[in-house]
Structure 1
Amino acid sequence: MSETVKYVSAKTLTELGTSLFVKGGLLEEDAQVVAQDLVAANLRGLDSHGVSRIPMYLTRIRKGVVNPNPDIKIENITAAVSKVDGDDGMGFLAGHKAMDEAVRLAGQSGIGLVGVHNSTHYGMAAIYVMEAMKKGFISMAYTNSSPAIPPWGGRTAYLGASPFAAAVPSGNETPYVLDMAMTVIARGKIRLAATNGESIPEGLALDRDGAPTTNASKAFEGVCLPFGGAKGSALAMLMDLLSGVLTGANYGGDVKSLYFDHSEPQNVGHLFIAIKPDLFVSKTEFENRMDDFVRRTKSLPKAQGFDEILIPGEPEERKAAKRLETGIPISLNVIKELEHELARYGLDSLAL
């Protein structure tokens, strides 16, 4: 076993997270939802969006900028459109309610569009599209987030990392699950590297003075760089327009920092889309076509250095299966932070 990590079961981490969020003021049902979503991120290898964020979320609840018991309201706008007010609660809760509503609308009208305002950071974006996919729907999830990258040509954090997620169900083959930030690297990964005292590769971020850096702490205080240069910056801008400007949420650099700004709630915006897959062809034909597409893709000639062609989401599914067996590797620094929160609330130690 590595000297820098401990392996913890998904069950233990879920119970730990649930207990901490209940102590933080959430209803047990809501606490379990948030904990399960965080552990799901760890299982899929997105450790930056997993249990390492629990102390930060609890801090925001204690500071009064996250409502532990939100009254989340859904307002129907048209036959295919609804609006969700997250009441400054945990974004996970608003996110699930919004995607559930999008699926409901799509079941009736073929497509469902749901905008969310007064939300907060909602964790791993794949959670929501996977939820819709399991119910048989194609889906997309947009969100804005606190400033992380400059517009192309700028040096000031203005646009969010703003991940985009999409999922397309299949029949018997691997489904398509995309979850990607607009940055070269997710900002949470830089934060995790800073927590663990690790450096980052060149070309990922600038420090607060606009200079390239491999120091994770300086990078976290500075700005991330958009993937694909101007293209990534343009997509991050689109995410802010659709998730912030369109929904009535904050936008244009006004979403408050998760870590550095406890002055007021974030008012993050999300936009969820669900689509029935049998709008143009039958459900059976769609699934057959999807399966055929996956088989064609995976049977294509491989480039040098590659053993197989993977469908988006496939590496994460494999990692999740492995981590369910081996446990989830949690760094000792993250464990230390979690132990501190357990002690704060008088809960039993992890005792690892």
Structure 2
Amino acid sequence: MNLDAHETLSDLRAVLRSTAPLSDPADVQLAAFWLIQAELLGLPEFGIGMLARDLERLDVLEGAPAAEATPVTDADPIGSLDATGVPGVVALASAVRRASQSVEAHGLAIVGVRGAGALGILGLAAHSLASRGAVALLAAQSPATVAPWGGHAAAIGTNPLAIGVPRGDRPPLVIDYATSTLTLAAVREARGAGAPLPEGSAVDESGEPTTDPAAVAALLPAGLVGSLTGLVVELLAGVAVGGRVTDPGAPLSRGAVLIAFDPTRAGGTDTADATAALDREWRGAGGHLPARFDALTADAAELPETIPVRDEAAAWLRGRASEASGA
């Protein structure tokens, strides 16, 4: 069904405010905007439906403390965010705000996130920062669902990476990908549709290949390079920032790391033009660059009048927004 974009944005803000009352209003607004953009990208599994699942996680964690941060101050461009007790997408928006402030003050920011739920599309966060002139690299770690290359049991998460770089003649160049052959969202989609998974994408509990989404015990990595890249993400976004949980009794969560910097202060005097030139050379050589983020606006005022939303997600949002407004 098609919903009014700005009414949907308002409903999302109301829901997020009710579940993250201590969060900065700017973070809530940006998080709601990203959820709308996920729907516009045709990735509803990272939009309203994802928020519904993440709020179910928070219901289980009811009573957990709200997110607290080690502030990024003028004296320190590095900080961390404990995202326990808030929607993951709001925690990511908070990390972007803190990073943006630090890049402006220092030219550099490193923000670690731990205890997070579903973060959404990392490329949207990279797009937000690159739209402001920064180069941004984000990586996210999650509970073990992916086997090592040549392995037979889950050891790391799908562990996506995203980078956003200003581009002179077009919107920021954004690259966002998982290090596994499939995402968990794709497995859920296949299970719901009763469709098989691609060959060579998953194994069952005995370590044997399977195409049955209901039988998946572990996803497979995107080759040896994808496997090692996933391990790198696990070290950066899991081990290094406290995202990886070693206590078997602790709730499952995600970790993330955000690194952003001002390219002019790193020697990149013509970064935007150089990115545009590289884009042309890459395509001219027969290469592919993701273009899904190119059509996105960085301004909520420029959203289309309506957005397509699945009926189930629309009904959930209306009910939850009504509850939030009456609270």
Normalised-by-shorter TM-score class: 0.7 to 0.9
- 1:176-215 matches, cutoff 5 A: 176-215=173-212
Contact 1:241 1:251 in 2 (8 A): no
Correspondence for 2:312: 336
Correspondence for 2:118: 121
Contact 1:9 1:328 in 2 (8 A): no
Q: Percent identity?
A: 23
2:226 pairs with one of 225, 229, 232: 232
CA distance in 1, matches of 2:67, 2:322: 28
The amino acid that maps onto 1:214 is: T
Correspondence for 2:282: 297
Correspondence for 2:257: 271
Contact 2:70 2:79 in 1 (8 A): yes
Residues 31-40 or 121-130, more deviating: 31-40
- Please provide the CA RMSD for this pair: 3.3
1:170 and 2:167 equivalent?
Answer: yes
2:244 pairs with one of 246, 250, 259: 250
Once the two structures are TM-superposed, the CA of residue 179 in structure 1 deviates from its matched residue by 0.8
CA distance in 2, matches of 1:226, 1:155: 11
Once the two structures are TM-superposed, the CA of residue 36 in structure 1 deviates from its matched residue by 2.7
Call closer, same or farther: CA 1:35–1:80 in 2, change over 3 Å: closer
Call closer, same or farther: CA 1:231–1:120 in 2, change over 3 Å: same
Correspondence for 1:137: 134
- 1:1-352 matches, cutoff 5 A: 6-21=1-16, 25-27=19-21, 29=25, 32-64=29-61, 67=64, 70-76=66-72, 79-219=76-216, 222-228=217-223, 230-251=224-245, 264-281=250-267, 283=269, 285-298=270-283, 300=284, 302=286, 310-312=288-290, 314-318=291-295, 324=304, 327-328=307-308, 330=310, 335-336=311-312, 339=315
Cα deviation per residue 1:18-74 (whole Å; 9 max; x = unaligned)? 454456x3439465544332221121232321222233122112212685x724223
Call closer, same or farther: CA 1:171–1:200 in 2, change over 3 Å: same
> What number of residue pairs does the alignment pair up?
316
Contact 2:148 2:220 in 1 (8 A): no
Q: Secondary structure at the match of 2:145?
A: strand
Contact 1:136 1:276 in 2 (8 A): yes
Unaligned runs of 5+ in 1: 1-5, 257-262, 303-308
Call closer, same or farther: CA 1:127–1:95 in 2, change over 3 Å: same
CA distance in 1, matches of 2:268, 2:92: 29
CA distance in 2, matches of 1:108, 1:251: 32
TM-score of the two chains, using structure 2 as the length reference: 0.82
CA distance in 2, matches of 1:204, 1:65: 36
Call closer, same or farther: CA 1:211–1:99 in 2, change over 3 Å: same
Once the two structures are TM-superposed, the CA of residue 240 in structure 1 deviates from its matched residue by 1.0
Cα deviation per residue 1:89-132 (whole Å; 9 max; x = unaligned)? 22222222222222333333332222222332211111221121
The amino acid that maps onto 2:69 is: K
Q: Secondary structure at the match of 2:244?
A: coil
Once the two structures are TM-superposed, the CA of residue 196 in structure 1 deviates from its matched residue by 3.3
Q: Secondary structure at the match of 1:311?
A: coil
Contact 2:166 2:271 in 1 (8 A): no
Call closer, same or farther: CA 1:340–1:103 in 2, change over 3 Å: closer
Once the two structures are TM-superposed, the CA of residue 347 in structure 1 deviates from its matched residue by 6.0
The amino acid that maps onto 1:224 is: L
Once the two structures are TM-superposed, the CA of residue 244 in structure 1 deviates from its matched residue by 1.4
Q: Secondary structure at the match of 1:146?
A: coil
Q: Secondary structure at the match of 1:279?
A: helix
Once the two structures are TM-superposed, the CA of residue 14 in structure 1 deviates from its matched residue by 3.2
Call closer, same or farther: CA 1:201–1:329 in 2, change over 3 Å: farther
Once the two structures are TM-superposed, the CA of residue 292 in structure 1 deviates from its matched residue by 2.4
